[in-house]
Chain A
């Protein structure tokens, strides 16, 4: 893969076999003393995809990502990143990735521009080319006005943008983003999402970790759900939702007097306890499969219970996670900012 360091990424990417996934990991393990932070995870991330690793705090997301970015050595298992073996060719892996960690990896004393010029020079841009690259990135990330300000005076959103810009000095084959929007306000979060989508459109493979279900749902083509160092599920957002049933069936009854009859039918049909809304004659119940829900509705109608409305909601990823692990996914801080 010598050409990777000599030519533009796009060219070298075309020369590589298109079938090699961006990331291919088998049985990765990382121990910290007694604790198995990552306990045998397999992962295949196709090129050009946004792939999310979803899990609560301490699930092993960051550890997994740090191993794939050569920052931490796996205790067992194998992986290739853009076709390069993690253990045998770490330098080549580093040449084809970029990583934006959870905490801004910038020099706070320097200006935004100086940070980017420094990194551009480390990648091999000289003098004027390094400055030009820095200025281009600053413009693309809407930071030109703050270019000559020290990073410690940046807002959280600006810092995050600069941090991601710093990962794009060279177009990476894989961009690792560790919780890219943690701690950002909703506006800054939407900006970062837009940017991530833009990058993916240009062909960059993106592996991101998140504890926000909404984020994985919004961005990622595939999601791996991780808990206690294990991968407990993987698929598209739709597949994950389908795997845990069809979410809540909600019905509104025209005649209040029939409410208890209706509740009894739903309970019998779906084997779940029915929740009654406080005002109005609305019932909701975990719906089982679409077929079961359909049959339950048919029986309600056959029994002469008139419905003013019914709906079958897709389960939220929250419900998915709950179904998979038996515990809610987000902690308080997650809920608060996940809006």
Chain B
């Protein structure tokens, strides 16, 4: 490095035309893809828990719960996909928290770019994570004997719904990531909030045997509504109402939290 070569470079540079908001967002999406290339271990984190859950519930509890492991898997697999997406949303909040902590966002904030582009990029990364993790879980399910009655169309529809769910839940963790500067705290708070939602739902068991007060909660739990719709889509029995109910929470979260995210981002300062 020396002064003269820097000088030469500086005089040559021509400022290009300002890029579009979409182009900005795509750059951040590209960053998310590079993260997969450089930190492939994160995939392990993403799928290990759901794989363990699938194996444990199918083979240990499955027979007792549904008569046979195979029958239980048929019931459980769509649910574990929802669980995977909900749990994995925590990672984007942690990633955001890390970026803020390291000062990376200061650089983004001092660039003349679309203000929401970094978040759009995080969302692209989230969607990729959900797609990859979902595909791996589905593949394992197929190997273990799961069969989606609605075929390829049903699976594609189910994955689109999964992405919508991931998109909606993602905003919760964007907000947490902006509010909390320690990634580990984001994870702890995230899991604390998510655990009751995931377990007090119809993901693992049919709520018919639960006490009335719990069943009342399970029936309106957005995670249950999502799971019901996803099961329906993969088995070919989904009704428009089920799908609409599953989308209520993601749409509401987006409408409320996207502006909150932007507001927090614009005003956030150390």
- Chain A interface (Cβ < 8 Å from any Cβ of B): 4-10, 66, 69-73, 91-92, 94-95, 97-99, 101-111, 114, 118-119, 121-126, 129, 133, 136-137, 139-143, 150, 161, 166, 168-171, 191, 194-195, 197-199, 201-204
What are 8 A-B pairs with beta-carbon distances under 8 A? A92-B112, A122-B111, A122-B113, A137-B9, A166-B107, A168-B6, A171-B13, A199-B3
Q: Known A5-B18, A71-B109; judge A121-B3 contact (CB<8 A).
A: no
Q: Tell me whether A8 and B6 are in contact (CB under 8 A).
A: no
Q: Is the CB of B110 within 8 A of A71?
A: yes
Q: 1/0 per residue B13-54: CB within 8 Å of A?
A: 111111100011001001100110011000000000000000
Asked whether any CB of chain A lies closer than 8 Å to the CB of B239, the reply is no
For B3, the closest partner residue in chain A by CB is A198
Q: Is the CB–CB distance between B102 and A72 below 8 Å?
A: no
Inter-chain pairs besides A71-B269, A95-B112, A194-B2, 15 sampled, C-beta below 8 Å: A5-B18, A8-B14, A94-B110, A95-B18, A101-B103, A104-B102, A107-B104, A110-B35, A114-B34, A122-B111, A123-B19, A136-B12, A170-B15, A197-B3, A202-B6
**Are B103 and A118 in contact, with the CB atoms below 8 A?**
no
A6 is contacted by which of B13, B15, B109 (Cβ under 8 Å)? B15
Across-interface contacts of B27 in A (CB, < 8 A):
118, 121-122
A161 to B1, CA, bound (A): 9
Which of B5, B13, B102, B109 has its CB near the most chain A CB atoms (within 10 A)? B13
In Å, the complex CA distance between A53 and B104 comes to 23
Which of B17, B30, B34, B117 has the most A CB atoms < 10 Å from its CB? B34
* Complex alpha-carbon distance, A95 and B110, angstroms: 8
User: Taking the nearest CB of chain A, how far is it from the CB of B242, in angstroms?
Assistant: 40
A72-B269, A101-B107 given; A140·B15 CB < 8 A: no
A101 to B110, CA, bound (A): 10
Cβ of B209 < 8 Å from any Cβ of A? no
Contact A201 B7 (CB under 8 A): yes
- Give the residues in chain A near B34, CB-CB below 8 Å: 109-110, 114
> Is there contact, CB below 8 Å, between B6 and A124?
no
Chain A, Cβ-Cβ closest to B110: A99
Partner of A202, one of B2, B10, B111: B10
Contact of A139 among B5, B10, B107 (CB under 8 A): B5
- Complex-state Cα separation, A100 to B13, whole angstroms: 19
Q: Is B269 in contact with A141, judged by CB distance below 8 angstroms?
A: no
Complex interface: chain A residues within 8 A of B219 (CB):
none
| Residues B1 and A142 in contact, CB atoms below 8 Å apart | yes
B206 within 8 A of A: no
Q: Which residue in B10, B23, B24 is a CB contact (below 8 Å) of A204?
A: B10
- Set of chain B residues within 8 Å of A201, measured between Cβ atoms: 3, 7
Contact of B1 among A104, A110, A114, A140 (CB under 8 A): A140
Cβ–Cβ < 8 Å partners of B102 in chain A: 103-105, 108
User: How close is B21's CB to chain A, nearest CB, in angstroms?
Assistant: 11
- In the complex, the answer to whether B7 meets A122 with C-beta atoms within 8 Å is no
Residues of chain A within 8 A of B111, CB atoms compared: 94, 119, 122-123
Q: What residues on B are CB-neighbors of A136 within 8 Å?
A: 9, 12
Q: A109-B35, A122-B27, A129-B16 are in contact. Are A198 and B7 (CB under 8 A)?
A: yes
Which residue of the partner chain, among A9, A98, A109, A166, contacts B15 with CB atoms under 8 Å?
A9
Give A104 to B38 CA distance when docked, in angstroms: 19
Interchain CB contact (< 8 A) of A109 among B14, B16, B38: B38
Q: Is the CB of B7 within 8 A of A202?
A: yes
Our pick among A6, A101, A119 for the contact of B106 (Cβ within 8 Å) is: A101
Across the interface, which residues of B come within 8 angstroms of A197, CB to CB?
3
Given known A71-B109, A110-B38, A161-B1, contact A124–B17 (CB-CB < 8 A)? yes
Closest to A107 in B: B104
**Shortest CB–CB separation between residue A200 and chain B, in angstroms?**
9
- Does A10 lie within 8 Å of B6, measured CB to CB? no
Name which residue of chain A comes closest to B117, CB basis: A122
A109 with B39: CB separation less than 8 A: yes
List chain B residues, Cβ under 8 A from A10.
11
Instruction: Please measure, in the bound complex, the distance between the C-alpha atom of A203 and the C-alpha atom of B15, giving whole angstroms.
Output: 16
Residues of B within 8 A of A6 (CB): 15, 17
Q: Take A6-B17, A204-B10 as given contacts and tell me if A195 and B3 are in contact as well, using a CB distance cutoff of 8 Å.
A: yes
User: Which A residue sits closest to B269, measured CB to CB?
Assistant: A72
Q: State whether the Cβ of B192 lies closer than 8 Å to any Cβ in chain A.
A: no
B39 closest partner in A (C-beta): A109
Looking at B39, B111, B117, the one whose CB has the most chain A CB atoms below 10 A away is B111
Expressed in whole angstroms, the minimum distance between the Cβ of B16 and any Cβ of chain A is 4
CA distance A2 to B50 in the complex (A): 53
Interface check B241, CB cutoff 8 A: no
- Smallest CB-CB A-B distances: 10 pairs: A198-B3, A105-B107, A124-B16, A142-B1, A95-B112, A124-B19, A202-B7, A94-B112, A103-B103, A72-B269
The 8 A CB mask of B107-125 against A (1 = contact, 0 = none) is: 1111111000100000000
Nearest chain A residue, comparing its CB with the CB of B109? A71
A195 & B38 in contact (Cβ 8 Å cutoff): no
Contacts of B112 in A (CB 8 A): 5, 91-92, 94-95
Mark contacts of B40-83 with chain A using CB atoms, 8 A cut-off: 1 yes-contact digit, 0 otherwise: 00000000000000000000000000000000000000000000
In the complex, are the beta carbons of A141 and B6 less than 8 A apart?
A: yes
- State in angstroms the CA–CA spacing of A109 and B38 once bound together: 6
Q: Which residue of A lies closest to B17 (CB)?
A: A124
Q: Are B110 and A98 in contact (CB under 8 A)?
A: yes
Identify the closest chain B residue to A126 (Cβ). B16
Q: Which of B8, B102, B112, B269 gathers the greatest number of chain A CB atoms within 10 Å?
A: B112
